[in-house]
Amino acid sequence: MTKVRYCGRDFTAADLDLIRSIIARPEKYPTRAAIARAICESFAWVKPDGGPKLMSARVALLRMHRDGLFELPPPRHKNGNGHWNPQPTPATDPGPTLTGTRRDLGPLSLCRIACLRDSRLWNELIARYHYLGYTPLPGAQIRYLIRNETHLLGAIGMGAAAWKVAPRDLFIGWTSTQREQRLHLVINQARFLILPWVRVKNLASSVLGLLATQVVSDWEESYAYRPLVMETFVEKERFAGTCYRAANWIHVGQTQGRGKLDTHKLKDKPIKDVFLFPLNKNFRKILTAPT
């Protein structure tokens, strides 16, 4: 083995030996979190704002552990590594049916998750009502609760972009090197939920329009840079992507039905439509600038 790749980074045999040496010092690095922080420091693995890429490091370590490259210490908190299935609470019980027009709802708000109570509410809503269920969003992320003045209407979440998506990459026109260096400038609209008892026409596209005007400044406030493009994936057999088309997202193609770990070309994943929304009119020029 010359090198392996996890979370967008190549690890050589020497890198893996260094990780093993860190794991072998439990008196200094007793937890998975401490090991991840040491990995970030050792490899200068940082985000654009200079902070350590702890989430990427933790995900990479877990995948290496599962692939048998080394043995991590047991997790301190038994959370199933993201496979969380909480018992529903009254906070997410169905509310009264809301119908009518978008105008009837009045002003909408995307309320950023900023406290533990709201974080648990967002997680529970997604776990209870989203068809994909709850898993932690990857990498840099921002989550919102969707509200009007009187009702909770849904939830939406942004996370890190997919590593390699042929229709997206062809549309942008960047090289693999440019993609590796600038992928953080693409953000993924990973979860979108309008609560099932909220049946208001054009609400979803209105939320997407509000997201496009708000997420750039929110992302800059959190991560010290402005994203250029949003992406999302819509399962073809379930949804037509109507709200994305209505909100002027661009359909750029479809996935091949292969998961990111599918090395045998089994194509056992659902086909998904790929939609993009440019957040900067010069996105292509910036993303494809010479490296």
pLDDT band with cut points at 50, 70 and 90 for residue 265: low
CA atoms within a 13 Å half-sphere pointing along the CA-CB vector of 164: 14
pLDDT band with cut points at 50, 70 and 90 for residue 79: low
Judge whether 165 and 130 are in contact, CB under 8 Å: no
pLDDT band with cut points at 50, 70 and 90 for residue 260: very low
Q: What does the block give as tokens for 113?
A: 């998750």
Q: What is the pLDDT of residues 176-220, one digit of tens each?
A: 999 988 999 999 999 999 999 999 999 999 999 999 999 999 999
Between 77-86, 139-148, 168-177, 200-209, the lowest mean confidence (pLDDT) is in: 77-86
Q: Is the dihedral of CA 194, 200, 202, 208 positive or negative?
A: negative
CA atoms within a 13 Å half-sphere pointing along the CA-CB vector of 173: 7
**Residue whose token pair is 């997680």:** 123
In angstroms, the CA 17 to CA 193 distance is 43
Q: What does the block give as tokens for 17?
A: 């030996």
Instruction: Delineate the domains of the chain, giving CATH numbers in brackets.
Output: 3-78 (no CATH), 89-287 (3.40.630.30)
Residues contacting 223, CB < 8 A, separation 6+: 47, 48, 49, 140
**Residue whose token pair is 């596209």:** 205
CA distances from 104 to 8, 108, 149, 210 (A): 45, 11, 11, 17
In angstroms, the CA 265 to CA 43 distance is 32
